[in-house]
């Protein structure tokens, strides 16, 4: 069995961006351990096994070997096999991402992530199949468990508030504890890589990323990102910084088109890169590179295909030594190239792990052809695989927790503490009940707001408040995608349960923000509304015309 050494290091990174120097130092384990053992193993692998290690596709089905007929058909269309286990065997896969898209229903169905118990069964089956491959190393099994609006596993787990709520709570010790809890639950389910935390710093009005970010102040976001990384890694789950070099100052959805980052090199170094530097210093295992046109570095080329971004900036200037993973290659900016060509170009530019190629067979064949022709140097592929194997060896040193670790009372209490610490009064009284008489809870039509309305109703009733369908004191919930027309002119209290920017247009005498729509956040909101708890949060973003907190 290959050995594993943990080495404490001090990471000091010099940012040579626009003449700006920034250095972060801190003890912690190296992102990947024992590279010599990993390199020896990589050197022994054949071409197909090397290529398989750098591929991380998705698969349909809630079990490794037994899937629905619709999932089997979808897998055959994507990869020419019926089940996830067959996909692992055929393509010698080193990784798989669990997603929330179903072949059995349109819209927000589930495929890999129906419940915590089901995920554990699925990942156990996947790892058993991986053990039969020549590499005989565990798979990297990943998902996007950011919490908030991007949360893949929602049933049977502890749901934390979204990142912006952590920014409002501004308690790094609590952040670390919360992400340690979610890391323990992911590890128990057999998920070894979390594509979180989001290290993007928000620009004006939150742009596309919105509440997925910890806030708009680079220093404050850096503290939160570092804490989240430490929490995940302490539970044996790999942490991923995304979306390098920063998606927070864009309004464009990179799933649909290539966003442009027009800022100067100096602004990039001052406003966007600090959380990535901090996260690297905290030991982040992976960095996900976004499909972003960084005009100050490589104009017209997506960062996910740019050696100037991945090699010169991320590795050369920021000193990152872990695994570079692409954002999904089935997104529009990557699909400008055929699947095989995209895989080769991304590898040549510095990517180590290719996420969600749109045509798995084409991606594999493109890499094999490029390797055998010499276009893709074998040394480049071995370099990438060595980083991946080194990460796997480090992760394999942590025993898998029992399922009794999942959704414990302790973890739920941690989520509640985050929610309670984040509630913010932006206008109105800072103590005592914030409403009186029967209450009517309203919201716009989005599904998440309707669920939050139900949870808030339950929480208010549990505190003895009479909640009536109409004609009560109106508490109105608003969210990220709402327009000004979704504001209620009759609301005594307006609450932002996602980004709080729309509160600047609200006329209610009392304005609150929870930044998240989880049950824990609605329970904390009910406590503040009834005067049972204070609202200690401070908005992590600027809302025009309103203070960060009306309570000092």
Q: Name the 3-class secondary structure at 378.
A: helix
CA 30 to chain CA centroid, nearest Å: 21
Determine the pLDDT at residue 35.
Answer: 64
Question: Strand, coil or helix: what is 36?
Answer: helix
Q: pLDDT of 48-105, one tens digit each?
A: 999 999 999 999 999 999 999 989 999 999 999 999 999 999 999 999 999 876 444 4
- Predicted pLDDT of residue 5: 27
- Pure H helices in 352-428: 360-373, 378-395, 409-422
**List of the chain residues with pLDDT < 70:** 1-35, 101-111
Alpha-carbon distances, residue 502 vs 14, 418, 474, 482, 496 (angstroms): 38, 23, 17, 8, 8
Q: Are 28 and 283 in contact (CB under 8 A)?
A: yes
Please identify which of the residues 271, 293, 327, 407 carries the catalytic annotation: 327
Based on its alpha-carbon atoms, the radius of gyration of the chain, rounded to whole angstroms, reads 23
Provide the 10 A C-beta neighbour count for residue 214: 33
Cβ within 8 Å of residue 511, ≥6 positions away: 425, 426, 427, 428, 493, 494, 495, 496, 503, 546
- Structure tokens given for 147: 């919490």
Q: Which of 219, 255, 369, 490 is catalytic?
A: 255
Q: What is the DSSP string of 171-202?
A: -HHHHHHHHHHHHHHHHHHT--EE---B-PPP
Is residue 331 within 8 Å of 255, Cβ to Cβ? yes
The predicted pLDDT at position 252 comes to 74
The reply to whether 249 belongs to the active site is no
Using DSSP, state whether 540 is helix, strand or coil: coil
CATH number of 1-14+32-53+196-206+238-388: 3.20.20.300
Parallel/antiparallel/unpaired status of strands 424-427 and 510-513: antiparallel
First and final C-alpha spacing in the chain: 57
255 is catalytic: yes
Protein fold of 410-529:
Rossmann fold (3.40.50)
Q: At what angle do helices 218-234 and 172-189 cross, to 10 degrees?
A: 40
Domain coordinates of the chain in residue numbers?
Answer: 1-14+32-53+196-206+238-388, 410-529
* pLDDT value, residue 278: 98
pLDDT in tens, 292-328: 999 999 999 999 999 999 999 999 999 999 999 999 9
> b/e per residue, 87-122, with b = 16+ CB within 10 A?
bbbbbbbbbbbbbbbbbbeeeeebbbbbbbebbbbb
**What sign does the CA torsion over 490, 496, 498, 500 have?**
positive
Check for a shared fold between 1-14+32-53+196-206+238-388 and 410-529: no
């Amino acid at each position: 069995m290959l050995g594993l050494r943990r080495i404490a290091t001090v990471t000091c990174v010099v940012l040579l961006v626009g003449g700006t120097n920034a250095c972060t130092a801190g003890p912690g384990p190296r992102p990947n351990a024992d590279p010599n053992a990993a390199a020896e193993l990589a050197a022994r692998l054949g071409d197909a096994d090397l290529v398989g290690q750098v591929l991380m596709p998705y698969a349909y089905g809630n079990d490794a070997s037994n899937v629905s007929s619709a999932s089997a058909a979808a897998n055959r269309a994507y990869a020419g096999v019926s089940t996830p286990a067959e996909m692992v065997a055929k393509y010698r896969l080193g990784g798989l991402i669990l997603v929330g898209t179903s072949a059995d229903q349109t819209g927000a169905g589930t495929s890999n992530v129906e419940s915590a118990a089901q995920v554990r069964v699925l990942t156990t089956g996947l790892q058993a199949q991986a053990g039969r491959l020549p590499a005989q190393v565990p798979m990297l099994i990943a998902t996007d468990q950011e919490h908030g609006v991007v949360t893949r596993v929602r049933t049977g787990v502890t749901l934390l508030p979204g990142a912006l709520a952590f920014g409002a709570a501004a308690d790094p010790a609590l952040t670390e504890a919360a992400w340690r809890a979610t890391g323990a639950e992911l590890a128990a389910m057999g998920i070894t890589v979390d594509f979180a935390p989001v290290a993007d710093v928000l620009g004006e009005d939150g742009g596309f990323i919105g509440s997925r970010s910890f806030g708009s102040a680079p220093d404050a976001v850096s503290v939160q990102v570092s804490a989240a990384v430490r929490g995940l890694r302490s539970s044996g789950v790999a942490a991923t910084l995304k979306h390098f070099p920063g998606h927070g100052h864009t309004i464009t959805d990179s799933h649909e088109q290539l966003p442009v980052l027009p800022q100067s090199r100096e602004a990039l170094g001052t406003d966007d890169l600090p959380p990535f530097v901090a996260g690297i210093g905290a030991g982040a295992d992976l960095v996900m590179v976004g499909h972003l046109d960084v005009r100050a570095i490589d104009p017209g080329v997506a960062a996910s295909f740019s050696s100037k971004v991945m090699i010169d900036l991320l590795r050369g200037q920021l000193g990152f030594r872990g695994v570079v993973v692409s954002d999904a290659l089935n997104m529009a900016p990557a699909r400008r190239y055929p699947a095989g060509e995209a895989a080769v170009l991304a590898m040549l530019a510095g990517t180590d792990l290719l996420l969600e190629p749109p045509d798995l067979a084409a991606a594999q064949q493109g890499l094999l052809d490029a390797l055998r022709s010499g276009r893709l140097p074998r040394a480049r592929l071995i370099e990438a695989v060595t980083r991946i194997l080194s990460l796997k060896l480090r992760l394999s040193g942590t025993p898998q927790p029992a399922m009794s670790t999942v959704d414990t009372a302790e973890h739920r209490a941690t989520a509640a503490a985050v929610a309670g610490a984040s509630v913010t009064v932006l206008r109105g009284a800072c103590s005592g009940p914030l409403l009186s008489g029967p209450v009517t809870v309203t919201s716009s039509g989005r599904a998440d707001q309707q669920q939050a309305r139900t949870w808030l109703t339950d929480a208010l009733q549990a505190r003895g408040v009479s909640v009536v369908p109409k004609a009560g004191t109106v508490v109105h919930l608003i969210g990220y995608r709402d327009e000004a027309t979704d504001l209620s002119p009759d609301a005594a209290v307006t609450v932002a349960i996602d980004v709080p920017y729309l509160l600047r247009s609200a006329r209610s005498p009392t304005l609150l923000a929870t930044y998240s729509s989880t049950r824990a956040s609605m329970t904390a909101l009910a406590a503040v509304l009834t005067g049972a708890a204070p609202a200690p949060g401070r908005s992590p973003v600027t809302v025009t015309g309103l203070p960060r907190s009306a309570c000092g």
